[in-house]
Structure 1
Amino acid sequence: MAKYYDTIIIGAGQAGLAMGYYIKKNHSTFIILEKNKRVGDSWRNRYDSLMLFTPRSYSALPGLRLQGEQSEYPTKDEVANYLEDYSNKFTIPIQFNTSVKGIQKIDETFQILTTSGGIYFSKNVIVATGPFQQPFYPDFEKHVPNNIFQIHSAHYKNPNQLSKETTVVVGGGNSGMQIATELSLDREVYLSISKKPKFFPYEMWNRSIFWWFDLLGISKATVHSKIGKFIRKNDPIIGRESKQLIDSGRIKLLTRATIWKGEKMFFEDGTFIKPKNIIWATGYYSDYKWIDIPEVFTINGNPIHTRGITTEQGLYFLGLSWQYKRSSALLNGVGGDAAFIASKL
């Protein structure tokens, strides 16, 4: 049976929940469609040692504080449970175990098809599936032989998945740095990066680095501002544990990985190693093939939008990386974008 709502939100992660919080204030009918069986499962399924680089005071959605010492850093399971508590506290309507396989627009109404066979109709659709959609691998990954263990950071759980032999982590973002740091405790670890990393401490003079970002106006920098453009090109690593290990030689830096030949991985400067384990911390790419409205996407498949608003009346995106500010894809920043979109519905 078809179901009708004023608004349908795709995804019950932090973006979808923040959106639900604001829409509920408008007293319009809405529902969130979530592919997992519980709120927070996308966090629960990430690697065991994952810890946020924002303290609890900067890791909460609008309307509900994250419990615990505010200057300390929450674990991924703590965040997962917080999101579940959030959905319960504000009684946000969610349909679980429901994956969306198609969206099209007929006249002024969106038709949403699901893998369970259910069909939904709405005036507005908010795509809140986040920036972590499909794991990205470099083209030469398919040339790595089967006797080399390889796994994307999206599927990495803990060091026990790997042999205690030479390991290379490809990609130097916060996840790549955290994983390399963890693995370096009991094996030889290399870290392949495309440019020299910049490290910021968690704290300066007993204040969170994010407190200083607020004070200096960095947190308010938008995607098109001069500061925003600079930060986007030079996004720092938060925390200096990895830097200490790099400086001491426990983590050995390599340039960008370029090709695999025989038993060797080669790098941009011509060097090579023979790893037995590879962690691809190479990020993600957007996959919106299930949205049958091609004019709102670039040739590379990325949404064309202004602060989440597309040229297609009623279609919105939320939780994208740098949607409006650096924090748009983070717990402490997505609420501002959600409030803005709610005001435009």
Structure 2
Amino acid sequence: MLDAIIVGAGQAGLTMGYYLKQEGYNFLLLEAGNRIGDSWRNRYDSLQLFTPREYSSLPGMIVKGEGKGFPCKDEMATYLEEYARYFTLPIQLQTEVLKIKKEKEIFELHTPTEILQAKKVVIATGGFQQPYIPSFSQHLSSHIFQIHSSQYKSPSKIPKGKVLVVGGGNSGMQIAVELAKTHEVTISIGHPLTFLPLHLFRKSIFNWLEKLGLLYAEVNTKRGKWFQKRKDPIFGFEGKELIRNGVIKLEKKVVSASENNIMFQNGGTYSAESIIWSTGFIQNYKWIEIEKAVNENGFPNHVRGISPVKGLYYIGLPWQSQRGSALICGVGKDAAYLLSEIKKIDQ
């Protein structure tokens, strides 16, 4: 019988493991992937974080390299792997949790090969689980190359011709900027864009966000509520300049599709050889078969990561308790808080 099982060994799960290890808990991390860090390692080739290294570390171990520089995706993957090794965190790889049940006071976690039991469970699968592509994409011709942004690797893997990037988050914009060097690119965005510089007066924008109380703004404060109503900004001005100069064409939100054409919200149409859907992810918690664990919308039922189900916790969710909850720089705050609550129950 384990004291705790953490489902997911990404940045959130590893951080929770770090804190449990410090307190001597008997626990296990379950990770569906083949290697620690694969969630970063498998992203597109040129991916670079927009958070500098000084804001890209987990508790107890600093990311190597110049603090004001920006780590690449392979650097982050290696860092997470080294983090797990350095703190000798108990991890079982290639282990998918198919369902979780609770019998009396014991949690049962069903995997393809065994049933594990624990007194507590921390769900650390995060907010980026299943790629979402609108169902109307199926109406497009099979001749049009379509992938989700999570499948994108490099411009050389995209067929020649016009490319439509659907979605204007940081990933969508970074992909559009890279493709603009080799392809004719249009980006479709359903909301006004806000761009922030990576640096301001020789300091990282994250230094300023922290000083202004925005980086870690708590969910129920006036500042936090204001921030939640706004779309995430695009970090860096490269995309802004390419749009301004007409190198990247800007279109309204995509609302439907038919054979060879995409239809926009303003009634316009567009035909492209390739479409990259940077349309986010769907959270799936149907495998948690415990009453009150998720709400009627299928999202985790929690307050600051604490479930109404005794012994069940969540970590790594967007706005779990504050703006940085889903960021590598902020997940430690939530893990420390959850540990304090776990210790209260055990006293």
Gapped regions of structure 1 (runs ≥ 5): none
Cα distance between partner residues in 2 of 1:28 and 1:51: 35
Corresponding position: 1:263 with 2:248? no
Contact 2:188 2:252 in 1 (8 A): yes
Q: In the TM superposition, what whole-angstrom CA distance separates every residue of 1:30-78 from its partner, at most 9, and x where no partner exists?
A: 0100111211011111111111010000000001100101001000000
Alignment of 1:3-42 (within 5 A): 4-42=1-39
Letter in 2 for 1:249: G
Q: Post-superposition shift, 1:246?
A: 0.7
CA distance in 1, matches of 2:14, 2:179: 34
Residue of structure 1 equivalent to 2:66: 69
Structure 1 SS opposite 2:262: strand
Q: Distance in 2 between matches of 1:221 and 1:54?
A: 17
Q: 1:36, 1:271 → 2: CA distance?
A: 42
**Secondary structure at 2:151 match in 1:** coil
Return the alpha-carbon distance in structure 1 between the equivalents of residues 215 and 271 of structure 2.
42
Report the 3-state secondary structure (helix = DSSP H, G, I; strand = E; otherwise coil) of the residue aligned with 2:28. Answer: strand
Letter in 2 for 1:39: I
Within the candidate set 188, 199, 204, 1:203 is matched to 199
Instruction: Choose 270-279 or 287-296, whichever is displaced more.
Output: 287-296
Correspondence list, 1:156-305, <5 A: 156-234=152-230, 235-305=232-302
Other structure's SS at 2:16 match: helix
Aligned-pair CA distance for 1:304: 1.3
| Larger displacement relative to structure 2 (307-316 or 293-302) | 293-302
Structure 2-normalised TM-score?
Answer: 0.96
**In the aligned structure 1, how far is the partner of 2:265 from the partner of 2:185?**
18
Structure 1 residue 136 and structure 2 residue 132: aligned?
Answer: yes
The answer for unaligned runs of 5 or more in structure 2 is 343-347
| Residue 93 of structure 1: aligned partner | 90
1:281-317 per-residue CA deviation (whole Å, 9 max, x = no partner) reads: 0000101111101422122211111011010001111
Asked if the contact 2:214/2:323 (under 8 Å) is kept, the reply is no
Write the distance in 2 (CA, Å) between the matches of 1:153 and 1:181.
13
Q: TM-score, normalised by structure 1?
A: 0.97
Match of 2:319 in 1: 322
Q: Matched residues in 1 for 2:264 and 2:228: separation?
A: 25
Kindly indicate whether the alpha-carbon contact (under 8 Å) linking 2:216 and 2:330 is maintained by their aligned counterparts in 1.
Answer: no
User: Is the partner of 1:245 in helix, strand or coil?
Assistant: helix
1-structure distance, mates of 2:74, 2:196: 25
Per mean C-alpha deviation after superposition, the further-off stretch among 138-147 and 248-257 is 138-147
Q: How far apart, CA to CA, are the structure 1 residues paired with 2:259 and 2:333?
A: 50
Deviation, 1:144, is 1.4
Q: Which amino acid aligns with 1:291?
A: I
| Cα drift, residue 241 of structure 1 | 0.8
Runs of 4+ residues over 6 Å off in structure 1: none
Partners of 1:339 and 1:83 in 2: CA distance: 18
Offset from partner CA, 1:175-223 (integer Å, 9 cap, x none)? 0000000111111111111111100000000000010111111123112
Identity over aligned pairs, percent = 49
- Equivalent in the alignment of 2:80: 83
